[in-house]
Amino acid sequence: MSLTEMFASLGAPLKNQRWSWGAERSEDAVVFLRVWQDECDKINDRRAVRITANSYFADKPNNLGNIERLKHVELIRSGRTTFLIMCAAVDPKAEPRVISQFNEREVFIGGAIIEHDGDTWIELSSRKPVSEVRPNKSP
């Protein structure tokens, strides 16, 4: 399964396969974000992952992926349920990054928003099987 297929299977198809880093599921407004394994850290004794890269994108105001990400962050701030799809990069220093693999069996449940070193992070509260977060299909 590709990452694009993963988002679609969750009922949150990516708007654009080239630059979308997340999506919103229309039926219940759940936000799904792609996040990077190497951008996880412990902040104030809580496991978290970075969801913005403000200094990197400061001189790239028209980057469509970042624009969409900032909208998703605002939705999360407003209280939306958030699930995170953990990805590993072939080379974390490469630009653009290429995904070597992602966890297609489970998602992380996003917890509290944490502001740290000029970026927004989200707490990794626990994991949930993908089968439990797929949309309900009525017969």
* Averaged pLDDT of the chain: 94
139 domain-assigned: no
Q: How, if at all, do strands 46-50 and 99-102 pair?
A: unpaired
Mean pLDDT of the region 107-135: 96
pLDDT digits (tens, 9 = 90+) for 15-70: 988 889 999 999 999 999 999 999 999 999 999 999 999 999 999 999 999 999 99
pLDDT for 96: 85
96 domain-assigned: yes
pTM for the model stands at 0.94
Q: pLDDT band for position 138 (50/70/90)?
A: very low
57 domain-assigned: yes
Please give the Cα distance from 16 to 24 (Å, whole number): 13
Range of the domain at 44: 3-133
138 domain-assigned: no
pLDDT digits (tens, 9 = 90+) for 80-103: 999 999 999 999 999 889 999 999
Residues, the chain, total?
A: 139
114 domain-assigned: yes
CA 81 to chain CA mean position, Å:
12
Task: Count up the domains in the chain and report the number.
Answer: 1
pLDDT for 48: 98
pLDDT for 139: 44
Q: Strand runs (DSSP E) across the chain, as ranges? A: 22-24, 31-36, 40-43, 46-50, 82-89, 99-102, 106-116, 119-129
Does position 137 have pLDDT exceeding 90, yes or no?
no
53 domain-assigned: yes
